[in-house]
Amino acid sequence: MQTLTNELGPSLDLSEEHVMLRDAVRDFAQREIVPVAAEFDESGDFPLETVRKMGEMGLMGIEIPEEYGGAGMDTIAYVLAMIEIAKADASHSTVVSVNNSLVNHGLLKFGTEAQRQQFLVPLASGEKIGAYSLTEPMSGSDAGTMRTRAELNDAGTHYIINGVKSWVTSGPVADTVILFTMTEPEKRHKGITAFVVDAELPGFIRGKKEPKLGIRASATSELIFEDYACPVEHILGEPGLGFKIAMTLLDAGRIGIAAQSVGIAEAAYEASLAYAREREAFGQPIGGFQLIQGKIADMKTRLEAARLLTYNAALAKMRSAETGERYTTAASMAKLFASETAMFITHQAVQIHGGMGYSKEMPVERYFRDAKITEIYEGTSEIQRVVIARSELDLR
């Protein structure tokens, strides 16, 4: 056992396996991802080659049992890997997060054995890429207003799906999509059903690719369904349970985004620390000035607090596997605080770097752009506050 520590003392015991994974991912990320991150950010191209390499390392199915093609590790391992990848490049970590938290976790928790064999094995092994599709052009946080429809055909063998989904991470490259549609619109949230969609079947159309402020190498697009015939065997869970499934998966996803936020924040903090030591003004390093010291102190404190909340959420998820208790509040607190910490720290990093922080010659401007999305996707900061408050107030 190695004890992972911070300035406040011991926080988490890491097994030898955890340490080996963290160090291996750190080495890979710094060697393979960091040198190409700026190039892919500039072009907006999807980094397929490095994503495939992450799959070969087992990073596309970290928590999935080996029998289903995964690495067979736990949520702490997932968080450690996400931090190291995000520290190198947020776009790469976004692909890893969606594949692990939203798609693989969904198939493992709610899928049939046949669905696991057909879809989960190639996803967890990195052979294929997954996506999660809930949002629509006119339906974001209020999923009960979604317009995509799935109607059972006369033979009772397929659901015919029509509609448009938006902001689908990995949509342009996904082989498998966890899709949420209305099967009984009059029931609103209780009329949503989840489907496992094979992108190779007719009626699946990839729409326009979104030009984004940040995480530009993480491909995002609309998905269009035109009389897409989805076999009834590809229902995930049961008809009408889609909203419950979606929210359950977002609990797991928020831990991934919290870890991503910590990674982005850590990269920006370390860059700022190095710059404050090296950059001189008025005859001394700028780190000698109290205003800079105040920023460094606030950045470090928030970073460590975000890290601990993220570890806490990961441990809560691991306990949940044994007790069945939800870890929604822990995940929401970690996601809320870590994402706002990433935004705070990257903002301070740009300030510390001054004019160079505004230049693409330095990576902090990319960290700043990448950090913003963490406050928005998989539930905005506003939604996280609602989730936390309603839990504390015992409101349903």
The number of helices, as runs of H, and strands, as runs of E, in the chain is 13, 12
Structure tokens at 118: 């057909």
Beta bridge partners, 4, equal 12
Residue 324: φ, ψ to 5°:
80, 0
Up-side HSE of residue 133: CA atoms within 13 Å toward CB? 38
Which of helix, strand or coil describes residue 139? strand
Distance CA 392, CA 387 (A): 9
Distance CA 355, CA 171 (A): 36
Maximum distance among all Cα pairs of the chain, rounded to whole angstroms: 81
Catalytic residue from among 7, 378, 382, 392: 378
Dihedral sign for Cα 147, 148, 154, 157, please: negative
CA distances from 229 to 43, 150, 159 (A): 35, 9, 6
| Residues 126 and 54: beta-carbon distance below 8 Å | yes
Dihedral sign for Cα 223, 227, 230, 236, please: positive
Burial readout 164-181 (b: 16 or more C-beta within 10 A, e: otherwise): bbbbbbbbbbbbbbbbbb
> What is the identity of the amino acid at 367?
Y
| Residues 129 and 173: beta-carbon distance below 8 Å | yes
Distance CA 396, CA 362 (A): 47
Element (H, E) at 115: helix 113-115
> Is 226 an active-site residue?
no
| Residues 119 and 192: beta-carbon distance below 8 Å | no
| Residues 110 and 236: beta-carbon distance below 8 Å | yes
Residues with catalytic annotation?
A: 378
